[in-house]
Structure 1
């Protein structure tokens, strides 16, 4: 089992980072809400090709927002794990995940061995 830092040290190290990323995701999602609105059919001002481009851009914005929401759920879960003392511990074997792996992505829930 790898030596783990104090839970309060983990909290101080990662909680601000997790919250900052979550806030940035929410802000980005709010700022692109107009890009995800349905494309209106107005044949007077938008030609067929322009409308197809608008539909493609709307679909890409919706897919990007779905990825943001998935990342947000992972960040929320990591914040909850910090709160209940489970952050940094492998969900499979119970060993400490390791600071380098958590530094790479603090939403990791499994150690390197279990992730293989």
Structure 2
């Protein structure tokens, strides 16, 4: 893959990592332990708070998985393996990489 293209992908990956960092900071409060205070919060409000906490934790898990995929893509760029299928070695389709630069496999290998 030409060097200028790699720089575009590298910049996009770094931008996405920064966005994840901002989202992590926003989601920290939502993941805190829900306190049991029957004087201040009713049963339904507590249940709602617990549900919000669970959703925040699930979002954090998804962000962590996305961060891993982005870091793996950066590693592939650094080792000159980016843009090639990790299974068969064929070139990855540029249209797919432009949508998601973390894609490690071609369509043929993905389909099986």
Structure 1 residue 10, shift from structure 2 partner: 2.9
- 2:104 aligned residue: 109
Match for residue 9 of structure 1 among 4, 19, 28? 4
- 1:27 aligned residue: 22
Structure 1 residue 21, shift from structure 2 partner: 0.4
- 2:90 aligned residue: 95
- Aligned-partner Cα distance in 2 for 1:112–1:32: 34
What SS does the corresponding residue of 2:13 show, helix, strand or coil?
helix
- 2:62 aligned residue: 67
- Aligned-partner Cα distance in 2 for 1:26–1:70: 13
Deviations 1:9-44 (A, max 9, x none): 232120000000011011111111000111011111
Higher RCO (C-alpha under 8 Å, 6+ residues apart): 1
Structure 2 gap segments, 5+ residues each: none
Q: CA RMSD in A?
A: 0.9
Deviations 1:80-106 (A, max 9, x none): 111111111101100111211111110
| Structure 1 moving runs of 4+ over 4 Å | none
- Aligned-partner Cα distance in 1 for 2:6–2:84: 13
